């Protein structure tokens, strides 16, 4: 059997039509297939590779930490320098109330931990989340996922969870003294890049504060510069009670985190003790890689240049494009249907661009390249997208 057959036979399949490319190398903004063909990466692992692939400083950090030690003991018992220094670095880059970091293995586990913390802190169970939001695929995270299509086959899920439309007044009105938490993406990713109205997210924050409800903001995909500021919430003058990170957090290694004030987080130490347990969460190699990647992002990522790059994406135009929605170096190019989008995506891949559609917006093509992509490279990418649209549709 060749690798394609082995992939189909022995690697659990979740998609009836996986992209199915086989890559042998990735560096900078490119991935290279078995024939040596280069593809510009417009997915970036859904915001994992914000600094591009295989940065030498991240590789060096991984190698050094792997040689020093990998796994010592379950999370939270020993003092592990990579965890300590990375948690301190994150706390220094966040508002003062986000000072205690619980490292997990993944984004979904960060969501799970945050919801548990909100229930533990408030003594309440009601959770409000949003249609077309994605927070992970485990049972708790699935319960707050904003699509009945994906939830339905797995019921019963968490009780007392209510979904409202993002940017709706109805959601704000629903928050009351029985609500443990509201969980929202600061910028919705899989609905095809939807920003909140500043007045809406500020009202959401205010209602949470009035009712003693914890506001959880998920920047697992939107964080680390993607939207043009290090954290997306900085653009809206709101601060969450619990903040979720993942994806780019590990610099290419598996890592997630939920971050809150120490006074909240400390409640995991009593009633019950060991209120949240993980064997591999905060793996020292992942923390070393993530810290090195964040240092690279801050020194070489040039987040300040993102608005200029965003403009290149906003200039994409063709009669078949219904709308281009952007948030920093992140765009959803909307076509009239999934069928049209699918044809364009196939052409883009053939023309050397890795892209796909959004989970809840299959009519939208994803443009989320590494943040290090230069304006010139973006102009070349935009030209290839335009050519692909013409070849697919004209």
∠ Cα 148 121 229 (to 5°): 65
> 78-107: which residues touch ligand PLP (CB under 6 A)?
106-107
258 binds ligand PLP (CB under 6 A): no
DSSP letters along 78-95, please?
S--HHHHHHHHHHHHHS-
Among 108, 128, 184, 217, binds ligand PLP (CB under 6 A): 108
Decide whether 278 or 386 has the Cβ nearer to ligand PLP: 278
User: Which of 50, 213, 221, 227 contacts ligand PLP by CB under 6 A?
Assistant: 221
Helix (H) or strand (E) holding 121: helix 107-122
Whose Cβ is closer to ligand PLP: residue 220's or residue 321's? 220
Angle in degrees, CA 135, 74, 62, rounded to 5: 75
Using the contact rule CB under 6 A, the part of the chain among 6-14, 133-141, 228-236, 274-282 near ligand PLP is 133-141
> What DSSP element (H or E) covers 110?
helix 107-122
Q: Which of 98, 220 has the CB closer to ligand PLP?
A: 220
136 binds ligand PLP (CB under 6 A): yes
Residue choice 75, 86, 134, 358 for contact with ligand PLP (CB under 6 A): 134
Q: Which of residues 9-68 bind ligand PLP (CB under 6 A)?
A: 46
Which residue minimizes CB distance to ligand PLP?
A: 107
Q: Which of 90, 182, 184, 220 binds ligand PLP (CB under 6 A)?
A: 220
The count of residues interacting with ligand PLP (CB under 6 A) is: 15
Does residue number 140 form part of the binding site for ligand PLP (CB under 6 A)?
Answer: no
Q: Please tell me whether residue 24 adopts helix, strand or coil conformation.
A: strand
Q: Is 223 in the site for ligand PLP (CB under 6 A)?
A: no
Residue 282 phi/psi, 5° resolution? 70, 35
Q: Which two tokens stand for residue 362?
A: 């299959």
**Dihedral angle computed from the Cα positions of residues 270, 273, 277 and 283, in that order, rounded to the nearest 10 degrees:** 80
Location of structure tokens 């135009």: 317
Return the number of the residue (44 or 179) whose C-beta is nearest ligand PLP.
Answer: 44
Closer CB to ligand PLP, residue 13 or residue 263?
13
**What is 299-348 written as a DSSP string?**
HHS-GGGHHHHHHHHHT---TT--EEEESSS-EEEE-SSHHHHHHHHHHH
In the complex, minimum distance from the CB of residue 254 to ligand PLP, in angstroms, rounded to a whole number: 7
- Which of 240, 245, 222 has the alpha carbon at shortest distance from 232? 222
Q: Considering the complex, state which of residue 41 and residue 185 has its C-beta at the smaller distance from ligand PLP.
A: 185
Minimum distance from residue 178 beta carbon to ligand PLP (Å): 25
Measuring CA to CA, how many Å separate 311 from each of 130, 149, 294?
29, 35, 25
- Residue placing its CB nearer to ligand PLP in the complex, 108 or 353: 108
* Part of the chain binding ligand PLP (CB under 6 A), chosen from 52-60, 117-125, 214-222, 282-290: 214-222
Give least dist CB 108 to ligand PLP, A. 3
Nearer to ligand PLP, 39 or 358 (CB): 358
How many C-beta neighbours within 10 Å does residue 146 have?
Answer: 24
* Of the candidate residues 55, 87, 127, 185, the single one contacting ligand PLP (CB under 6 A): 185
Question: Which CB atom, from 46 or from 340, has the smaller least distance to ligand PLP?
Answer: 46
218 binds ligand PLP (CB under 6 A): yes
189: contact with ligand PLP by CB under 6 A: yes
Distances (CA, A) of 186 to 62, 226, 235, 314: 30, 12, 10, 21
Contact positions with ligand PLP (CB under 6 A) in 356-385: none
Report if residue 135 touches ligand PLP, rule: CB under 6 A: yes
Residues 6+ apart with CB under 8 A from 157: 139, 140, 142, 143, 151
Q: From CA 44, how far away is CA 21, in angstroms rounded?
A: 15
Distance set, CA 59 to CA 53, 115, 332 (Å) = 10, 34, 31
- How far apart CA 292 and CA 62 sit, in angstroms, is 9
Which residues contribute to the site for ligand PLP (CB under 6 A)? 46, 106-108, 111, 134-136, 185, 189, 218, 220-221, 246, 256
């Amino acid at each position: 059997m060749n690798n394609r057959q082995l992939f189909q036979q022995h690697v659990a399949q979740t998609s009836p039509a996986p992209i199915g490319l086989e890559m042998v190398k990735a560096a900078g903004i490119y991935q290279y297939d078995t024939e040596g063909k280069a593809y510009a990466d417009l997915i970036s692992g859904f915001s994992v590779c914000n600094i591009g692939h295989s940065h030498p400083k991240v590789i060096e950090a991984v190698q050094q930490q792997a040689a020093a030690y990998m796994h010592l003991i379950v999370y939270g018992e020993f003092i592990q320098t990579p965890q300590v220094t990375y948690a301190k670095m994150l706390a220094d880059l966040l508002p003062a109330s986000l000072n205690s970091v619980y490292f997990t293995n993944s984004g979904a586990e960060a969501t799970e931990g945050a919801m548990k913390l909100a229930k533990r802190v408030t003594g309440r169970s009601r959770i409000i989340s949003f249609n077309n939001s994605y927070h992970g695929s485990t049972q708790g995270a699935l319960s707050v996922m904003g699509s009945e299509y994906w939830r339905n086959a797995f019921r019963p899920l968490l009780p007392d969870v209510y979904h409202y439309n993002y940017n709706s007044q109805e959601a704000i009105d629903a928050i009351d003294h029985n609500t443990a938490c509201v969980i929202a993406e600061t910028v919705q990713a899989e609905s095809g890049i939807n920003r909140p109205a500043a007045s809406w997210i500020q009202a959401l924050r205010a209602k949470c504060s009035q009712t003693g409800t914890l506001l959880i903001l998920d920047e697992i995909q939107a964080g680390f510069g993607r939207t043009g500021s290090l954290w997306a919430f900085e653009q809206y003058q709101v601060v969450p009670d619990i903040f979720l990170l993942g994806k780019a957090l590990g610099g290419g290694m598996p890592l997630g985190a939920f971050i809150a004030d120490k006074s909240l987080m400390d409640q995991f130490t009593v009633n019950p003790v060991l209120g949240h347990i993980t064997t591999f969460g905060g793996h020292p190699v992942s923390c070393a890689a993530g810290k090195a990647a964040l240092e690279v992002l801050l020194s070489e990522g040039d987040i300040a240049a993102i608005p200029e790059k965003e403009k290149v994406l906003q200039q994409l135009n063709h009669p078949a494009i219904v709308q281009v929605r952007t948030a920093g170096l992140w765009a959803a190019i909307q076509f009239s249907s999934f069928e049209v989008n699918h044809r364009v995506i196939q052409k883009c891949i053939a023309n050397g661009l890795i892209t796909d559609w959004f989970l809840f917006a299959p009519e939208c093509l994803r443009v989320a390249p590494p943040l290090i992509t230069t304006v010139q490279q973006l102009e070349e990418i935009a030209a290839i997208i335009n050519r692909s649209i013409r070849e697919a549709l004209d």
